[in-house]
Amino acid sequence: MNGHNLISHEDAAELGRRLAAGDRLAAPAALNLLEQRGAEAQERADSLLAEISPAKLGHESPGVIVGITGPPGAGKSTLLSELIALWRAREKSVAVLAIDPSSKRSGGSLLGDRARMAVDSRDDAVLVRSSATATRLGGLAPTTRESAMALAATFDVVIVETVGVGQSETDIAELADIVVVIVQPASGDVLQFIKSGVMEIPDILVVTKKDLGKVALNASRDLHSALRALGSKTPVLLVSSVPPTSGVEDLIGTVEEQFAELDLTARRARLRRLAALDSFTQENGERGLRALGGRREAEKFLAGQDAALGHRQLRQLLDARAAAQ
């Protein structure tokens, strides 16, 4: 990124303070800053993030981060616009980060999404940001985590929407408080999901297009029995996002219930440690892990660090430890 476009450290910190104070109007500029790459931009991002860190706030960012993932065409965007409307009706502010995974999906699909998410542009309690920041195999860019955290400082609900291909389910599980996986009622889709070995990732499973009737009921039944075989109690909800909508209230209720029961401090600390170890491993491979004495040792080391440390600080500690071996 062009250095001339960078704001000063002071301005970056001020953006962070505004977010911490609940000023949603600071969010777009904060996201612009966090999405910039390069060492200098990273330092500015750190100044912003320090202001909304649990160490500074004295608690975790209070908004719920909901990850929503599912295959193309499953009905994610249509469901999202219903979720936004219902959460707004409950006077909750909502931010959406829609992650576009591939160059194949051009600006056209993003525009289509925006049209499908019929959002009132004058409502500053709703922010929708589409970005093409996904990386390899549909995985999320590191900046997505930071953007989500920044938004959770000031929005009640932060939704990260990704197209479920390959890496994205696991990545979303490393940044979201509640992971919602969308399955559409087509037998191929349901089977593929069951076979994909990621059944333990979702906190909530949603079968869309309930209005299609029997095929949706069958999908839900198949998922239930696959979950039962695993001894999993993950709820399966049926929703219809086209009028007359149904099940969307239940989904909101379930998200809020699970979030209320979460030990947020523990969950977020665990996610930061996971993210730190993952980024370390991606860069340094198995050899890097061996330098840390193996994954187990690395996890133990991380668990012994201050729970309020950010994932990048934890990553630096891992780097230093590996270098010292």
Three-state DSSP at 17 gives: helix
Considering the complex, what minimum distance in angstroms separates the CB of residue 163 from ligand GTP?
Answer: 5
Contact of residue 163 among Mg ion, ligand GTP, none (CB under 5-8 Å per partner type): ligand GTP
Q: Is 55 helix (H, G, I), strand (E, B) or coil?
A: helix
Nearer to ligand GTP, 114 or 267 (CB): 114
Would you count residue 144 as binding Mg ion (CB under 5 A)?
Answer: no
- Our finding on whether 168 is near Mg ion (CB under 5 A) is no
Shortest Å, Cβ 74 to ligand GTP: 4
End-to-end Cα spacing for the chain: 35
Q: Does 47 bind Mg ion (CB under 5 A)?
A: no
Q: What are the residues binding ligand GTP (CB under 6 A)?
A: 70, 72-78, 113, 116, 163, 208-209, 211-212, 240-242
> Closest separation between CB of residue 105 and Mg ion, Å?
9
Please state the closest distance from residue 113 (CB atom) to Mg ion, in A: 5
Q: Which does 125 bind (CB under 5 to 8 A by kind): Mg ion, ligand GTP, none?
A: none
DSSP-derived letter for residue 246 is: B
How far is it, in rounded angstroms, from Cα 239 to Cα 216? 9
Residue with tokens 């649990």: 54
Query: What's the min distance (Å) between Cβ of 3 and ligand GTP?
Result: 35
Number of residues that bind Mg ion (CB under 5 A): 3
Residue among 88 and 105 whose Cβ is closer to Mg ion: 105
67: buried, middle or exposed (CB in 10 Å: 19+, 13-18, 0-12)? buried
Give the pair of three-digit tokens for residue 58. Answer: 């004295």
**CA-CA-CA-CA torsion sign (207, 209, 210, 216):** negative
Give the DSSP H/E element, type plus range, for residue 99.
strand 94-99
Provide, rounded to whole angstroms, the least separation between the CB of residue 76 and ligand GTP. 3
Map the footprint of Mg ion across residues 211-240, applying CB under 5 A: none
Which of 77, 130, 154, 279 forms a contact with Mg ion (CB under 5 A)?
77
Cα distance between residue 91 and residue 85, in whole Å: 10
DSSP character at residue 245: P
Please identify, using beta-carbon distances, which residue of 29 and 165 lies nearer to ligand GTP.
165
Edge to edge, what strands does the sheet with 236-238 contain? 126-131, 94-99, 157-163, 64-70, 178-183, 204-207, 236-238
Q: Based on CB atoms, which residue is closest to ligand GTP, 138 or 310? A: 138
| CA 271 to centroid of chain Cα atoms | 11
Stretch that binds Mg ion, among 8-16, 75-83, 85-93, 202-210 (CB under 5 A): 75-83
Q: Which residues would be at the binding site for Mg ion (CB under 5 A)?
A: 76-77, 113
